[in-house]
Structure 1
Amino acid sequence: MNGAELSPWIALPAAALLVLGGLLGLLGALGLLRLSDFYARIHAPTLANTLGAGCVLIASILVSSAIAERPVVHEVLITLCVILSSPVTAMLLMRAAVYRDR
């Protein structure tokens, strides 16, 4: 099975997840540009980009599993790393900013 033979039951949800992931990434970037101070700016990329990356990875899991005709779950490790590292990084940046502001 190649990309041309992908079932619409897999292709449509994957396409929707990719579009949603792209929109969430764009929303995170716009929030980073538009918000006024550091504490407000840190939330937009952390939340929106984490969700956007999660949508892209779920779409990749769907398509890879359909092409391989078996469950492909090694991308779950990538998802866990992204979901865990982004909020932790934001928390450490906020703590450093609070410490610096004192």
Structure 2
Amino acid sequence: MTEAVLPIWAQVVVALLVVFGAFIALLGALGLVRLKSYFERVHSPSIIATLACWCIMYATVLFFSVLEQRLALHALLIAVFVSVTAPITTIFLMRAALFRARRTGQNVPASVSSVVPSDPAHPDNRY
């Protein structure tokens, strides 16, 4: 079995993309650890995860496309899935946290919903 060797330009670009993606993921993890409240903490990994994932995806596509000498788009499916699910999950988690914080009387922005009152002591509050 012969080993295929990547050209030096591809090795450099792949390495830079992987290191940049890993650095961005590290920044997201540091934001998760350092920020105080849940509402601050939720933004860091959700926004960063998408950019880091796309950097790694570009490196993977380039690596396998050059190595196999054909366009390899299998990593694109993973990146699209992460890009679609990460923001949606963040929105749902944030809405649940706001709902819970309002019910416990914490100082959070008022609800703009006409269905759920923002005041926990409201007489129509059945939740």
TM-score with structure 2 length normalisation?
0.75
Count of residue correspondences: 101
Please provide the CA RMSD for this pair.
1.3
Per-residue deviation, residues 22-57 of structure 1 (Å, max 9, x unmatched): 101110000000001111101110111221121111
Percentage of identical aligned residues: 38
Q: Which amino acid aligns with 2:101?
A: D
Give the helix-richer structure, 1 or 2: 1
Structure with larger RCO (C-alpha < 8 A, sep 6+): 1
**2:45 paired with 1:8:** no
Runs (5+) with no aligned partner, structure 2: 103-127
Bigger Rg over Cα: 2
Runs (5+) with no aligned partner, structure 1: none
Matches within 5 A, 1:12-91: 12-91=12-91
TM-score with structure 1 length normalisation?
0.92
Runs of 4+ more than 3 Å apart:
none
- Give how far 1:2 is off: 4.1
